[in-house]
Chains A and B, each alone.
Chain A
């Protein structure tokens, strides 16, 4: 059980700056994120797209913004729990007991939800019966490529993940690559490689096809794929891989007893606290009259929520407002010399 003054859910720009604000005022915190990397939507959805409305930063990409925020956290020791999704938040005496899907648990007076539009989950195949084989012979990511050796693997998708795995697995497996159109959107070199391997019969390429159904009783036996012209083809296959990117889903947050409307959490504008004392929501996921879904709003919301956390984490101390330009205490925390 990890004890902390505040737990932040979500390592996007708002979560990162909120962590900064907490550390600046002398509280400790830990951060949980379902993605395998820090940055949230900025890193997952638009790492290369320029952003023009961060105050005092005329232009930066999602990746640059993330790196700058991480640099700003350098003076502090903050533990990130990546690849973990918070499943449960429940009251235990005066604290919140928080559990993740990896079995990590936290006890904290303050939970700050900086979850954007929810957690990123893989997009799945549409036919219902695909669920039956999920994590057995149908996967949305590769954990251990050895299981495919000598087998037939059908890969769906047109981006880098699908192409990279098609190339990689073609060395030791029989590979079908299925995509909904003729154009691929991966790196040009990989696309060329795939076409070359297809020419030599190392990859069986099926374009303008999509998954129609999966067949098999206990074990997966074959799949039907459907052409844009409705023609159906049956492919014998041992494994299926789907790479359709990620989708954002609110997930377990809906079960925590919060007031949720249209995928956002209602908060007040003083502490950004939800209807549950000690649970705050900041950034895109919170809602209040006049809410703007801008990164700069998330920074403001996080700064105020951090101050509210102080009261619950240090009930016997009084919070004193200080500037970073002049406060000796803050400079000590930042590890910079005073003057």
Chain B
């Protein structure tokens, strides 16, 4: 289990416990966190689960694989700390992770 904090665009904090092995995207969808659409269901094909990862965490979590950066080209207002939350797998190591959800996904 890891505690993940999702911060929506209006600065509302949603703290949830997410099971190891799930993705940060699944943690959001299962807990009805607004702002993560995940249209393609985790196939890295749509860029609608885009989040900003707090700088200190960005370097700690596993790096992006090839296709993710390509997909982020499509995301709404991507920044240098952008990630697709479907590609971040939850484990004890990321306990305490904070992600910001963009104002919209498309």
> Which residues of A approach B to under 8 Å, CB–CB?
41, 45-46, 49, 117, 123-124, 126, 157-159, 179-181, 183, 185, 210, 228, 244-245, 247-249, 293
Contact = CB atoms under 8 A, between A and B. Distances in A.
Nearest to B105: A247
A183 B43 contact: no
A49 B42 CA distance: 14
A159 B47 CA distance: 15
A179 B74 CA distance: 11
B43 A244 contact: no
Interface string B68-87: 01100110111110000000
Nearest to B45: A45
B69 A46 contact: no
A123 B106 contact: yes
A247 B69 contact: no
A179 B40 CA distance: 24
A181 B41 CA distance: 26
B41 A247 contact: no
A105 to B, nearest CB: 30
Contacts of B45: 41, 45-46, 49
Nearest to B43: A46
Given A45-B40, A181-B69, A245 B77 contact: no
11 contacts: A49-B43, A123-B74, A123-B106, A126-B77, A158-B70, A180-B73, A247-B39, A247-B48, A247-B105, A248-B39, A249-B106
The interface residues of chain A, by DSSP majority, are classed as loop
Contacts of A180: 73, 78
A201 B106 CA distance: 34
A245 B27 CA distance: 27
Among A123, A157, A158, A183, max chain B CB count under 10 A is at A123
Nearest to A228: B80
Contacts of B74: 123, 244-245, 247
Nearest to B82: A180
Contact of B73 (A117, A126, A157): A157
Contacts of A247: 39, 46, 48, 74, 105-106
A245 B74 CA distance: 6
Nearest to B77: A126
Contacts of B48: 247
A183 B69 contact: yes
